[in-house]
């Protein structure tokens, strides 16, 4: 995927000069369309922070109104939000954005058939955008290489037949940073966001699914199915990744007590045989979204699921 920070970097790199206002507007509008394709829905403020953090909110609202007039985007009032509006692509807008080469790895968004029903299913996706934004703001502050399109949502990883043979994280995060010894390190992470709508045991069961994916290798040619890798076969995940991505669970909407209960549920399943084996080499951490927004994801706000008593640390520890 082409790396682009959404701020006109590619044009400046080619010409060595700042783009003019017209070029800049085209670039931001492109980035808005791409972001709505990527995340399905976002508020005007989220889109401003994603694509034009140095500009005012009214410019973004005017840009979105133009996209609506051109039949590329629509808006709806979010329930229980003080009349806040979420923006999403029309079918025409999705077709146009789907042709962007930068979005080749991203599944096409579903457009609403029933807007009334659609708006009640979007809070989770807005929380995913919030999660991406905290990493993006932190990267801009630190000078790390992580842009608006370095978070790829909902990539399906199938390792066995049936629904239980699939993991589909809310996002796959590509983050390149400079380590303490000045080395460039790329961290990959599967991101799972929960708003407290899923019971703790169900949330924790996702760890077991990741452990199964981590351990599964194809059977020999001519034999159907898959088997757990025991050193002889090559795990399926190695077809996609050099290293298995770390696991980041981001929780919100539960308060401190609810967060503690869910973290305990995650730690409990982390002690089971399959999961414990994975966690010897794959870091898995949990944090509150509110803490990430207040202190930044590079702060000591992440708890190791394998050992909550170890205390909090940065997500790449």
- For residue 260, the model assigns a pLDDT of 92
The yes-or-no verdict on residue 106 having pLDDT over 80 is: yes
Residue 291 pLDDT level (bands cut at 50, 70, 90): very high
Say what the pLDDT of residue 8 is.
42
pLDDT in tens, 75-101: 988 876 667 888 999 999 999 999 998
For every residue of 137-175, which 3-state class applies, written as one string?
Answer: HHHHHHCCECCCCCEECCCCEECCCCHHHEECCCEEEEE
**pLDDT value at position 232?**
52
Q: What is the largest CA-CA distance in the chain?
A: 61
**Mean pLDDT over all residues of the chain?**
85
Comparison of pLDDT for 204 and 111, the residue scoring more? 204
**150: helix, coil or strand?**
coil
Q: Two tokens at 23? A: 């070029």
pLDDT, position 94: 92
Distance CA 299, CA 291 (A): 9
Place of tokens 């080469």: 101
Backbone φ and ψ of 250, nearest 5°: -115, 120
Mean pLDDT of 217-246: 72
Between 310 and 118, the more confident residue is 310
Q: Evaluate if residue 304 carries a pLDDT over 60.
A: yes
Structure token pair of residue 95:
């077709």
Over the stretch 107-165, which tens digit does the pLDDT of each residue have?
787 766 666 666 666 888 899 999 999 999 999 999 999 999 899 998 899 988 877 78
Q: How far apart are CA 27 and CA 9, in angstroms?
A: 10
Helix 44-51 × helix 123-142 angle, to 10°: 30
d(CA 110, CA 273) in angstroms, rounded, equals 38
Looking at 169-217, list the stretches that DSSP marks H as alpha helix, in order from N- to C-terminal side: 200-215
pLDDT digits (tens, 9 = 90+) for 6-26: 444 433 444 444 566 888 889
Q: In whole angstroms, give the CA distance from residue 303 to residue 175.
A: 19
């Amino acid at each position: 995927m082409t790396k682009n920070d959404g701020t006109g970097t590619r044009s400046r790199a080619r010409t060595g000069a700042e783009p003019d206002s017209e070029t800049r507007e085209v670039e931001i509008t492109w980035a808005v369309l791409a972001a709505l394709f990527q995340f399905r829905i976002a508020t005007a403020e989220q889109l401003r922070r994603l694509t034009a953090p140095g500009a005012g909110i009214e410019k973004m609202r005017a840009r979105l109104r133009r996209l609506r007039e051109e039949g590329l985007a629509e808006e709806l009032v979010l329930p229980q939000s003080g009349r806040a509006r979420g923006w999403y692509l029309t079918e025409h807008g999705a077709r146009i954005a789907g042709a962007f080469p930068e979005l080749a790895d991203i599944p096409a968004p579903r457009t609403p058939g029933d807007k009334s029903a659609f708006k009640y299913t979007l809070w989770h996706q807005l929380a995913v955008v919030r999660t991406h934004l905290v990493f993006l703001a932190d990267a801009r502050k630190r000078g790390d290489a992580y842009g608006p399109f370095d978070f790829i949502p909902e990539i399906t990883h199938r390792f066995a037949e049936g629904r239980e043979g699939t993991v589909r994280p809310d996002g796959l995060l590509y983050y390149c940073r400079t380590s303490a010894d000045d080395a460039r390190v790329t961290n990959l992470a599967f991101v799972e966001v929960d708003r407290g709508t899923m019971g703790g045991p169900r949330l924790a069961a996702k760890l077991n699914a990741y452990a199964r994916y981590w351990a599964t290798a194809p059977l020999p040619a001519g034999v159907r199915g898959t088997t757990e890798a025991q050193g002889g076969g090559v795990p399926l995940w190695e077809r996609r990744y050099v290293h298995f991505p770390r696991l980041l669970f981001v929780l919100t909407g539960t308060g401190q007590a609810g967060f503690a209960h869910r973290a305990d549920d995650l730690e409990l399943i982390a002690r089971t045989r399959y999961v414990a084996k994975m966690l010897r080499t794959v870091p898995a951490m949990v944090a509150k979204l509110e803490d990430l927004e207040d202190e930044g994801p590079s702060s000591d706000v992440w708890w190791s699921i394998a050992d909550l008593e170890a205390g909090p640390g940065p997500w790449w520890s």
